[in-house]
Amino acid sequence: MNIDRFFDVVPFWVIYFLSVFVVLLSIKLGIIIANIKSKKDDGEHESSVGTVVGATLGLLAFILAFSFGMSADRFGARKQLLLDEVNAIETTYLRAGFFAEPSRSDIRRDIKKYVDTRAVDTRVVELTYQQYQQIIKNSEAIHTQLWAHAEKISRSDLNSDIGALFVESLNNLIELHTARLTVGLYRIPSIIWIVLLSVTILSMASVGYYFGRFGKVNWMISIGLALVFSVVILLIFDLDRTGTGNIKINQQPMINLQQKLEYIK
């Protein structure tokens, strides 16, 4: 299975508990290594080990911040593209009003159908990956219908300024749809997840090694560290997920447009 497809369908609780397991297992691994090393008096100093532990934890914090920044930036881009698409749809709808019947009614009917397809409040309605893909398919089918209207109008009057403006706004609408899909397909690259996993294992093992080598093992602290770290991983994972995550883009602008178009005849 493609790793991006896997991230789209795997339940969130699996990611959370898998992260907790990896952290605790890494700490335990570090403790085991420390116990083996403790049988040999190699003159190892607590300060030197503490420096290494601090360095690995700092590196882990950097990777986490980098990953969070990538997912947060994409989330912000998705919100802006939604607003741009709403404006493009409304502009296309209004410009269709310049055409004579039956073109005006046909185009506006298809645009309303398009908005109805897109105006799904994902904060209330939980979409599956298959439903999300069906919305995309239906939207692109309506694009084809709208473009057919534009071709018909262009053939009837090639020099119409109004027709040119309509084609421009319709083209912008389709481009924004494509942009939303493209941004939605972006993911944190799998190599970064692999690096994050590797640094997590290394840093948590070093923490376990420090506990086992120079102090009493405190599993309460270890469990607390695993739980907090896993919450951050889950947040990054959720922001990186498109359409089916718990952190969703507020679709209210599209819903407001749906209601507004009912009053524009």
What pLDDT, on a 0 to 100 scale, did the predictor assign at position 243? 60
What pLDDT, on a 0 to 100 scale, did the predictor assign at position 186? 77
Blockwise average pLDDT, block size 10, the chain, 265 residues? 60 87 92 77 67 88 92 88 93 88 89 88 64 85 91 72 85 91 81 91 90 77 90 88 71 88 79
Q: Is the peptide bond between 189 and the residue preceding it cis, with omega within 30 degrees of 0? A: no
What pLDDT, on a 0 to 100 scale, did the predictor assign at position 1? 46
The domains of the chain are located at 17-261
Which residue bears the tokens 């951050």?
232
Q: Residue 146: which of 180, 80, 83, 99 has the closest Cα?
A: 99
Burial of 49 (0-12, 13-18, 19+ CB in 10 A): middle
pLDDT digits over 159-206, tens only?
A: 577 778 888 999 999 999 999 888 877 788 888 888 999 999 999 999
Burial of 172 (0-12, 13-18, 19+ CB in 10 A): middle
